[in-house]
Amino acid sequence: MAANWKMHKTVREAQDYMAALLPRVADFAGEVDVAVFAPFTCLSEVARMAEGSGVIAGAQNFFYEDSGAFTGEVSAPMLLDVGARASIIGHSERRELFCETDEAVARKARRAVEAGLLPVVCVGETKEERDAGRMWEKVSGQVRAVVEGLGEASGGQVVLAYEPIWAIGTGETASPEDAQDAIGRIRELLGELRGGEFASEARILYGGSIKPGNISEIMAQKDVDGGLVGGASLEVGSFLELVGAARD
What positions carry a catalytic annotation? Answer: 91, 163
Positions 140 through 159 that interact with ligand 13P (CB under 6 A): none
Other Cβ atoms less than 10 A from the Cβ of 99: the count is 8
* Using rule CB under 6 A, residue 100 touches ligand 13P: no
Question: What b-and-e string marks burial along 130-144, b requiring 16 or more CB atoms within 10 Å of the CB?
Answer: beeeebbebbbebbe
* Using rule CB under 6 A, residue 212 touches ligand 13P: no
Contact (Cβ atoms closer than 8 angstroms) between residue 54 and residue 21:
no
Which of the ranges 96-104, 182-190, 196-204, 228-236 carries the binding residues for ligand 13P, by CB under 6 A? 228-236
DSSP assignment letter at 38: -
Write out the DSSP string of 136-194: HHHHHHHHHHHHHHTTT--GGG-EEEE--GGGSSSS-PPPHHHHHHHHHHHHHHHHHHH
Contact (Cβ atoms closer than 8 angstroms) between residue 36 and residue 56:
yes
**Closest to ligand 13P by CB, 143 or 194:** 143
Shortest spacing between CB 6 and ligand 13P, in angstroms: 7
* Using rule CB under 6 A, residue 214 touches ligand 13P: no
Other Cβ atoms less than 10 A from the Cβ of 26: the count is 11
- The pattern of x and - marking residues 12 through 51 that bind ligand 13P according to CB under 6 A reads ----------------------------------------
Residue with the CB atom nearest ligand 13P in the bound state: 230
Which of the ranges 109-117, 139-147, 152-160, 222-230 carries the binding residues for ligand 13P, by CB under 6 A? 222-230
**Closest to ligand 13P by CB, 176 or 231:** 231
* Using rule CB under 6 A, residue 231 touches ligand 13P: yes
Task: Report the candidate in 138, 139, 153 with the shortest Cα–Cα distance to residue 108.
Answer: 153
* Using rule CB under 6 A, residue 226 touches ligand 13P: no
